[in-house]
Structures are given as C-alpha cells and as structure tokens.
Amino acid sequence: MHKIFFLLILLMTGITGLFASEPPATEVRAVWLTTNYGLDWPRNRTSLEVQKRELIEILDSLKSHNFNTVLFQVRGRGEVLYRSRIEPMMSLIAPAGPGQPPFDPLAFVVEECHKRGLACHAWVVTYPLGNNTHVRSLGAQSVTKKNPSITKQFQKEWFLDPGNPRTDDYLVSIVQEIVTGYDVDGIHFDYIRYPDNRGRFPDDGMYRLYGKGKTRDEWRRDNITRFVTRIYDIVKSVKPWVQVSSAPLGRYRTLAGNGVGWTALETVSQDAGKWMMMGKHDAIYPMMYYKERLFYPFVDDWLNHNNGRIVVPGLGAYQMIELGWSHRDILNQVDYTRDKEVHGQAYFRAENVLSNTKGILRELGSYYRYPAKLPPMTWLSDTIPDSPNDLRAEKNEEGLFELSWEGKGSARVTYNVYRSETDTLSLDRAEKLIAVGLREPQFRYRAEENDKAYYYYITTSDAYRNESVPCVPVFFYHSAIEK
C-alpha cells in the first residue's frame, strides 16, 4: 500500500508540478546561511568592505526571489559572529580599517535582513567544539581551556557534555547574550544532540552521578530535553516573541522498519517530537536530506507530533551536487509539503540554491512567484493588531508609486501590502501580495503604467505574526497620461 502511495505521489509531482500553480500566501521560505569555513559567507578573507558587499548580495538575491527567512550561523564550534564576552570572534572576519569600530556581523545581518522584510534567526551550533587543531587555534579563549570540566573528547573531536548541568548554564549565557543584545527573530539550534553512534560518548561519570535508575538512552534523551525546556523558558521570559526552533535529524524515529540506523530519537538521543508536544519549541526544521520512502512518511510523522507548531522540512539542495539529484527531486518535495499543508521549506544551503544549481532557482521562481507571509505563533499570542490608518497614494518626483500610512509606533510591528482590481480582498490570495515584512509605514515601487486601476490595502502584523484586517483602501489609476 505504501509503495503504491509513494508511486502516485512521484507520478503526480514529477509529471505535472501540480501544486506549483497556487502558491500559499503564508509560507516559510528559508535558507541556512552557513558561515562555518565560509561556505556561504564570507568568501573574501581580507577586506571587510567586500565581506559586507557579499552579504548584501546574498540578501538582495533572497529578497528578489521571495524568500522570507534567513537562518544565519552565528555560532560555529566554540566561536561566534557577534561581539561576545564569552567566546571569540570567528577568524574569518576581516579586520576593520584604521579608526573604524569593530565589525559586528550579527548586528549587520539583522539590520540588513529587516530592511528587506526578511526574518533573521540566530543559528547556534550547540554541542560540537571542533577537532584538536581547531581547539588549539582558539588558544586560551577556547571553552576547553576556560571551562574544561564541561567538555569531553570523543572520536578526535571535542564536545560540550550534555550530561553535565553546568553545560546548560554555559549555553544559556551565550543565548542570553544574543537574545538581549540583538533584535533577532529566532534562536535556531543545530547539533542539539549527542554525537552519532560510531562509538561510546565518554559520560560514565555523569551517568553514575545523575542517571538515577534510568537507562543510559533515557538519561541522554532527558539531558537534551532538560536543556531545551530551560532555554525555551528563558528566551520567552526575555523576549516572548523570539521563535525557538531546532534542526533535528530528518527522521524522528523508525517507522515500520523504515529508516533504521539514523534517527533523531534512537540514534542521537534527540526527542524532538516530544519538545513540540511539550510546547517547548515554536518550530522544527528537520534535516530531511533524503528521497522517496526516506522522506514522505517522515514528513507525515513530524506533522503528527507538531502540536500546532510550525514544521518546515529542510530540503537537501546540496544533494544535487553530492548525490547527483535532479532539481525535480527537490521540487517533488516542495509539492508534497504544500499538498500536506506543511508550513514551508528550508534549503541547505544558501549557495546551492542561489547559484541556481541544476536550474533549481529558476524552477523555484514559479513556486515563489509572489511574496509570502510568515505563519502566526498563535500559541504565544492570538491578539489581532489594529489596522493602519490614513493610507495615501501618489506618484512621486522620481516616477515611483508611493504608499504611506499612519503606523502603529511599535518597533516589532511590520506591514504587508496588497493590490486588488476589486474592492474586496482575501488575505489568503498570494497573488494579491506585493510586499511583506515592511518595517516602515511606507512603500515605493515602479508600477507598470498599464492604464489599469487598483485598490491598495495595508495590514499590520505584530511580533507574533498575527495579522490585522485590511485598512480602508486607496484607489489609484496607473497611467502615463493624467486622467
């Protein structure tokens, strides 16, 4: 039965691209922007100005292709991309020029994302600290030197020890620096798990001290869940609108013998479904870098555990290079997620999409041909914000069509712009959207002078992505000749 179902899905998506025809108005469209080894950024290692331009070019491209979320890797293996009192800055960042203040990559990317209506989540590598060579390169600033009791060496790599409660304290201090110091939209955890099962992680001492009658597997799962619970509660106490998410392994658990050998729950003590069911995650971005029977049923399983939270499958764009996938393999998965009304898609990694590997970016143009709003986090707040007031429209001196309105005065408010040929509007119609995530109460664009008249509407979205009803529209006739 399962084989027949999967064959039907493949035939439907592969032949027709069925679901690409009607993009949803609300959908996460994310990329992992990898800074480890400078894979996505920075490519240049000598000029800070070039590094800034590189990052702006990436964000401009994401915006122009109607992506809406950037998962920016702000902590690698024991080093960071923000001004931290706890861990050293990544050596990839070029020095500032004479008389220039030190560069803060996270502050820069948050500001530039928000200018473009993009959400920016701080992507944190949780437990891995790197190999001996890397740890030595950090010198006395490495946590292995400053706080060796919470670190362990395993398989020639160093890790923070999830079984030591003091590890939680250390990671909490890092997350608090980020959340209190930066206007991030989310905290996103990667490698929030034990190392894989090639050997035995050296935690005998901690297990004897804290195991309390549990099996080692139970104890390890509980260690990760303990940290997830604590960090969720702390983030919400500081800024409750900041989305807490993680990227677990793509297969939560073995399903009827399918997926044996590499699952979040059974292999690396990562009970991510439980985190959702407990209400200690706002979103999950499982790394679903597989095809067919190792993809479709596991999407369904994540949905069965989402507890009304956001599920965004991570799609392996890099597999078009590493395993020779076609772009159709990726698009089939986009089709399936839309058919299942999953909350969106994330791509690993940015460069594999933006470089148009095997034509993927071109093909996604039809899927993402309109902007998309982000899903509301109604479990945190379901209050509907007020609509904007006093919407005005004009053609300015530069020949641009300009909308302006009375804003709501909150730094966490954003605005969405709709255009309709009629005086009725459905907020669920993606083709009516022309801009999302605006931070200022104005919008300009070069409208086609096509002798058509449109109604323009603005809505307000609050920090939890709840959307207001539309404001009173303005009516504007786009013509080269004044009428």
Q: What is the pLDDT of residues 272-281, one digit of tens each?
A: 999 999 999 9
Whether residue 2 is predicted with pLDDT greater than 80 in this model: the reply is: no
CA distances from residue 478 to 401, 453, 481 in whole angstroms, order as listed: 9, 6, 9
pLDDT exceeds cutoff 90 at 284 = yes
Query: Is 3 in a helix, a strand, or coil?
Result: helix
Question: pLDDT band for position 341 (50/70/90)?
Answer: very high
Task: Read off the pTM.
Answer: 0.95
Contact 479/449 with Cβ under 8 angstroms?
yes
Between 32-36, 96-100, 350-354, the lowest mean confidence (pLDDT) is in 96-100
| Axis-axis angle for helices 48-64, 105-115 (nearest 10) | 30
Which tens digit of pLDDT belongs to each residue from 154-206? Answer: 999 999 999 999 999 999 999 999 999 999 999 999 999 999 866 689 999 99
Residues whose CB is less than 8 angstroms from the CB of residue 257 and which lie 6 or more positions away in sequence, other chains included: none
At 16, list the tokens: 């027709």
Mean pLDDT, range 358-376, rounded to an integer = 98
Where does the pLDDT of residue 15 fall: very low under 50, low under 70, confident under 90, or very high at 90 and above?
Answer: very low
pLDDT at position 11: 46
Q: What is the rounded CA–CA span in Å between residue 246 and residue 286?
A: 8
Which pLDDT belongs to residue 261? Answer: 85
pLDDT in tens, 204-247: 999 999 999 999 999 999 999 999 999 999 999 999 999 999 99
Average pLDDT (249-262) is: 93
Of 193, 191, 125, 128, the C-alpha closest to 156 is: 128
- Region 393-414: what's the mean pLDDT? 90
Q: How confident is the model at residue 64 (pLDDT cuts 50, 70, 90)?
A: very high
Q: Which CATH fold would you assign to the domain 389-478?
A: Immunoglobulin-like (2.60.40)
CA distance 475 to 481: 17
Per-residue pLDDT averaged across 22-46, rounded?
A: 97
pLDDT exceeds 90 at position 116: yes
Share of the chain above pLDDT 90, in %: 90
List the single range of 11-20, 129-138, 298-307 with lowest mean pLDDT. Answer: 11-20
Q: Whole-number mean pLDDT of the chain?
A: 94
Return the SS3 of 388: coil
pLDDT of residue 4: 42
Which pLDDT belongs to residue 408?
74
Question: Domain extents for the chain?
Answer: 2-367, 389-478
What percent of the chain is modeled with pLDDT above 70? 94
- The answer to whether residue 5 scores a pLDDT higher than 90 is no
111/107 Cα distance (integer angstroms) = 6
Confidence at 409, pLDDT banded by 50, 70, 90: low
Q: Following CA atoms 323, 326, 328, 332 in sequence, which dihedral angle do they give, to the nearest 10 degrees?
A: 0
More reliable by pLDDT, 256 or 9 = 256
Is residue 393 predicted with pLDDT exceeding 70?
yes
What is the mean pLDDT of the segment spanning 313-328?
98
Cis previous bond, 349, omega within 30:
yes
Please give the CATH superfamily to which domain 2-367 belongs. Answer: Glycosidases (3.20.20.80)
Burial zone of 340 (CB within 10 Å; 0-12 exposed, 13-18 middle, 19+ buried): middle
Q: Name every residue whose Cβ is closer than 8 Å to that of residue 138 and which is 6 or more positions away in sequence.
A: 78, 79, 88, 145
Kindly state the average pLDDT of the residues 101-113: 97
b/e per residue, 187-224, with b = 16+ CB within 10 A?
Answer: bbbbbbbbbeeeeebebeebbeebbeeeeeeebbbbbb
Q: Which of 85, 94, 91, 84 is nearest to 36 (CA)?
A: 91
Q: How confident is the model at residue 483 (pLDDT cuts 50, 70, 90)?
A: very low
Structure tokens, 218: 């139970």
Strands (E), 421-451: 433-438, 442-445
More confidently predicted of 347 and 155: 347
Which pLDDT band, with edges at 50, 70 and 90, does 3 fall under? very low
